[in-house]
Amino acid sequence: MSKQWYMLTIVGEDRRGIVARVTDALFNGGCNLGEASMMRLGGSFTIMLMVELERSGSELQKLLQPVARSLNLHIHVDSIEGRLHRHREPDVSITVYGADRAGIVARVTGVLAEAGLHILELESDVGGSSENPIYVMHIEGHAGEGIEALRSAMELIECDGIEVNLQPVDTMVG
Amino acid sequence: MAALEILIYPDQRLKQISQPVQQFDGELRSFVVELEQTMRSSPGGVGIAAPQVGCFQRIVIVDLSAKPKIASHGRMVLINPEILSWEGMVKGREGCMSVPDFTGNVMRAERITLGALNENGEPQEYICEGFEARAVQHEIDHLDGLLFLDRLVSRRTDLFRRKNYGSRKTA
């Protein structure tokens, strides 16, 4: 079998050593690691990791069985067409915040998608107090129809009492 | 004239500290021409530092004239450059000819005062802001063996900048 990339998704209750033990098992199983996003979300630890190896997805799953069992992790494997060096540069960075309420993400991303936004990365968090939670979201993306289209769209969102900061991203190459 | 070969990280020579230029002669001026040619042959490149082509002397070129929307001094040849003062810090995205296929966010001073010599050894002083200040700081870092990789800030790090919608009018 030739080398194949997989997207490995792992979720489990957060504890020290998850990354070390998972990546050690992958290394010992002859895997090559690619791009990844790993973070603690609400007490769970989450991993999205590109893994390359010369074996099937079910063998990758088997390789991780011992560590998954001992750390109580849920593991999911998808075979992907993706590969490395396919970065797409963001040209806009958007921060959104406001009192947390149902529908903010759908409203904001709906309006921005309509105005040409292609989201490359999105991170969001809920802060404030339990009684008065605030929602904070940061997006990096590509403005398919230009920055001005997004600026106009922002006004629609801001009418709803949500604060939106939009900054063009101009990458300096030196 | 052919472009010079760019050193690509993990070439450890990029981590080396460059020495001040002592001789302002024809050899220096023809090197500056070659360095500039190399910068221009790289798509989107607005700056270059001598160590990127394996010459460990304190020579930098920055030229934003290809970006007419950004206020700048145009072509600047900066020899033995020193940042004399700086103010404000701002996050911005950077890439590097010596680090292909990777860009990242870096904090830089928003406004700097810069002293340097030109290719004839004459002292110059510049006040640079924004994108140009960022380019100058990125290139001077190369002279000290630093890459933008040494200054990456977390993807999660974001600063609430003052509200600035550019063309948008406030009522």
Token pair recorded at residue B159: 């600063």
Which of B55, B142, B44, B160 has its CA nearest to residue B100? Answer: B44
Q: Is residue A45 over pLDDT 90?
A: yes
Q: Hey, are the CB atoms on A174 and B94 less than 8 Å from each other?
A: yes
Range from A52-56, A146-150, B66-70 carrying the lowest mean pLDDT: B66-70
pLDDT of res. A162: 87
Mark out chain B residues that contact chain A at CB-CB < 8 A: 42, 44-49, 62, 70, 92-97, 101-103, 131, 134-135, 138-139, 155-156, 158, 160-161, 163-168
pLDDT of res. A155: 86
Residue span of the structural domain in which A144 resides: 92-168
**Averaged pLDDT for residues A139-148:** 96
Asked if residue A174 is part of any domain, the answer here is no
A116 with A69, same domain? no
Q: Which residues of A touch B135 (CB under 8 A)?
A: 172, 174
- Domain with residue A157: its CATH number is 3.30.70.260
Between β-strands B99-117 and A163-168, what pairing exists: parallel, antiparallel or unpaired? unpaired
Q: What ipTM score was computed for the predicted complex, to two decimals?
A: 0.86
A56 with A99, same domain? no
Which of A120, A78, A127 has its CA nearest to residue A98? Answer: A127
Q: Closest to B168 (Cβ–Cβ): which among A89, A123, A151?
A: A151
A17 with A69, same domain? yes
Which of B66, B67, B31 has its CA nearest to residue A168? Answer: B67
Chain A residue with the nearest C-alpha to that of B61: A174
Domain total of chain A: 2
Between β-strands B75-96 and A172-173, what pairing exists: parallel, antiparallel or unpaired? parallel
Residue type, B147: L
Tens of pLDDT, residue by residue over B108-135, are 999 999 999 999 999 999 999 999 999 9
Mark out chain A residues that contact chain B at CB-CB < 8 A: 85, 87, 89-90, 93, 95, 121, 123, 138, 148, 151, 165-167, 169-174
pLDDT of res. B157: 58
Alpha carbon dihedral B24, B27, B31, B33, in 10-degree steps, equals 90
The residue whose two tokens read 């105005």 is A115
| Whether this model's pTM surpasses 0.90 | no
Last residue of a domain, one of A16, A50, A80: A80
Known catalytic residues of B are: 139
CATH 1.10.760.10 for domain B12-161, yes or no, is: no
Q: Which residues of A touch B103 (CB under 8 A)?
A: 87, 89, 171
Confidence of residue A67 (pLDDT cuts 50, 70, 90): very high
Q: Hey, are the CB atoms on B161 and A165 less than 8 Å from each other?
A: yes
